[in-house]
Amino acid sequence: MAKKLSKLALRLRSMTVFRDLLDDPVIGALIRCLERLGSGAERFAPAYSEFVSRLYKAGYVSLAEYIRDRVFDSDNVYIRLMGAGTLPDKVMLDSTALDLDTLSCVAGLDSGRLLEEASCNFNLAKFEGKKLNLTNEYAQRARDIDRFGYGVYARHRMFHWEEGRVSPVRTPDPIRLSDLIDYDREKGLILQNTRALLSGKPAANLLLTGDAGTGKSSTVKAVVNELWQEGLRIVEIRKEQLHEIPGILDELNLNPLKFILFIDDLSFQKNDDNFSALKAMLEGSVSAKSRNVVIYATSNRRHLVKETAADREGDDLHRQDAMQEAASLSERFGLRITFQRPSKETYLGIVRELAKKEGVTLPDEELCAGAERFALSRAARSARAARQYVDSLLSEQE
């Protein structure tokens, strides 16, 4: 049996479609462990312990679960072809099945079997295994690839664009739509447009404007958290990266998932090169026609462009041209949604709802009076101020 398990190491090293997994630190340590079977406990035990240590460090005690996740995460030629809607030929299908059979055998290993075959008669750390049919599981995953994704997109929902590539946000904002009080009409419009994107229907590029703290960016992130299991992802880009949108689209256009390119707190100075770049993207550009990507932007300015005193000077024709140029960018978004600053009644309603959800038991009169004082200290009522006020009450509780 030890010889059979040693051959399993050779089978792993001979993989083709899933060859990227050989660079995985846990799988690499497992291969070295398998290759030392039959070489004596003094050589096997350190390799075994190194493997189990790496498995634990990755957050797993089950080798089967670890193998399954790595298989589903693999960004390989087979899954890329499936994502692009191309069925691989029989040779590649057979090679994929062969690799998956090898990985299924690996997933079935457990510490008891390994230690027995190594003739280790002293206690070492344990790990679990489980019988899997990865061939069937992977086929199902491939059929639903437009919902699950592959590679880095399989395990993450929020990303940013850094150094010419998409990078996952390791600790994404967990906010949900149920956490956002009021603004039901605005949330409904964003949800409706995003669901159109997911269903393959025409979806608009969105511009969300309104006062600071009204929940524009929080709503976008909450929509992603609500719909990511249906195949939605978000990639946040900064204003100075707008000229890189064509490269981002090249990365995303063949992906089976649907994406929001998110630009937060967008505003421009007049004659800003980035202004022209985004304007060109929205006007008959590939971004507007992309089947799986839309642009969502938030701004505290309705026309996105800061107007200076100099812009107001000059004759009527000059002022009119300047105003039209400033308005032209926002008009290129297919849907514009305004988040109004809440009235006193709405603001206090948000405070009451948040306090109820968090278990704050202050009398209503005291709660509302404190909320008004808190808003005055920040010169404005807003959903953000309501959240901060309730958080301050929670921090004071023993």
Together in a domain, 370 and 267? no
Structural domain boundaries, residue 367: 344-396
- Asked if residue 167 is part of any domain, the answer here is yes
pLDDT digits (tens, 9 = 90+) for 168-207: 998 999 999 988 888 899 999 999 999 999 999 999 999 9
In which band, very low, low, confident or very high, does the pLDDT at 271 lie, cut at 50, 70 and 90? low
Residue 131 falls inside a structural domain: yes
What digits encode the pLDDT tens for the residues 24-61? 999 999 999 999 988 888 889 999 999 999 999 999 99
Residues 357 and 267 in one domain: no
User: pLDDT category, 304, cuts 50, 70, 90?
Assistant: low
Same-domain check for residues 138 and 275: no
First vs last Cα of the chain: how many Å apart?
61
In percent, the amount of the chain with pLDDT more than 90 equals: 54
For the sheet containing 232-236, what is the strand order? 165-168, 158-162, 232-236, 258-263, 293-299, 206-210, 335-339
* Residues 179 and 299 occupy one common structural domain: yes
Pairing type for strands 293-299 and 158-162 reads: unpaired
The rounded mean pLDDT for the chain is 87
pLDDT recorded at residue 319:
54
Taking 60 as the threshold, does the pLDDT of residue 1 lie above it? no
Task: Assign residue 185 the CATH number of its domain.
Answer: 3.40.50.300
52-66, 72-86, 281-295, 329-343 — which one is most confidently predicted on average? 52-66
Same domain, residue pair 88 and 198:
no
Residue where a domain stops, chosen among 117, 145, 173: 145
User: Which one-letter DSSP state was computed for residue 243?
Assistant: G
- Structure tokens belonging to residue 145: 């690839």
Q: How many CB atoms lie within 10 A of CB 390?
A: 24
- Match 């009076």 to its residue by tokens: 369
Same domain, 190 and 307: yes
Asked if residue 200 and residue 115 are part of one domain, the reply reads no
Residue at a domain's end among 99, 119, 145? 145
CA of 61: how far to CAs of 53, 141, 355, 358, 374, in Å?
10, 24, 40, 35, 48
The predicted pLDDT at position 314 comes to 54
Who wins on pLDDT, 23 or 309?
23
For range 122-144, the mean pLDDT:
93
Question: Does residue 150 lie within any of the structural domains?
Answer: no
313: exposed, middle or buried (C-beta count within 10 Å: 0-12, 13-18, 19+)? exposed
Q: Spell out the long-range contacts of 161-165 with Cβ–Cβ below 8 A and sequence spacing 24 or more.
A: 161/235, 161/236, 161/237, 161/238, 161/241, 161/244, 161/248, 164/244, 164/247, 165/251
Q: Which of the listed residues 145, 177, 211 is the one where a domain comes to its end?
A: 145
The answer to whether residue 152 is domain-embedded is: no
Residue type, 26: V
User: Looking at the structure, do residues 380 and 240 belong to the same domain, yes or no?
Assistant: no
Helical H segments across the chain, by residue range = 2-13, 25-35, 41-57, 63-73, 77-83, 90-107, 111-117, 134-143, 145-148, 152-155, 184-198, 216-227, 245-252, 273-282, 286-289, 309-312, 316-331, 344-358, 364-377, 383-396
CA 353 – CA 276 distance, rounded (Å): 43
151 found inside a domain: no
**pTM (predicted TM-score):** 0.81
Same domain, 235 and 318: yes
Please write the tens of the pLDDT for every residue from 208-264: 998 888 889 999 999 999 999 999 999 999 988 888 888 888 889 889 999 999 999
Quick one: 124 exposed, middle or buried, by C-beta within 10 A (0-12, 13-18, 19+)?
A: middle
Total number of domains in the chain: 3
Does residue 153 lie in a domain region?
no
Domain identity same for 184 and 289: yes
**Cβ neighbours of 391 (radius 10 Å):** 12
Rounded Cα distance between 287 and 331, Å, is: 16
- Specify the DSSP class assigned to residue 214: S
Q: Are residues 211 and 335 in the same domain?
A: yes
Shared domain for 272 and 320, answered yes or no, is: yes
pLDDT of the residue at 286: 42
Write out the two tokens for 118.
Answer: 């190594």
- A 10 A CB-CB count for 7 gives 11
Tokens representing 222 are: 């909450």
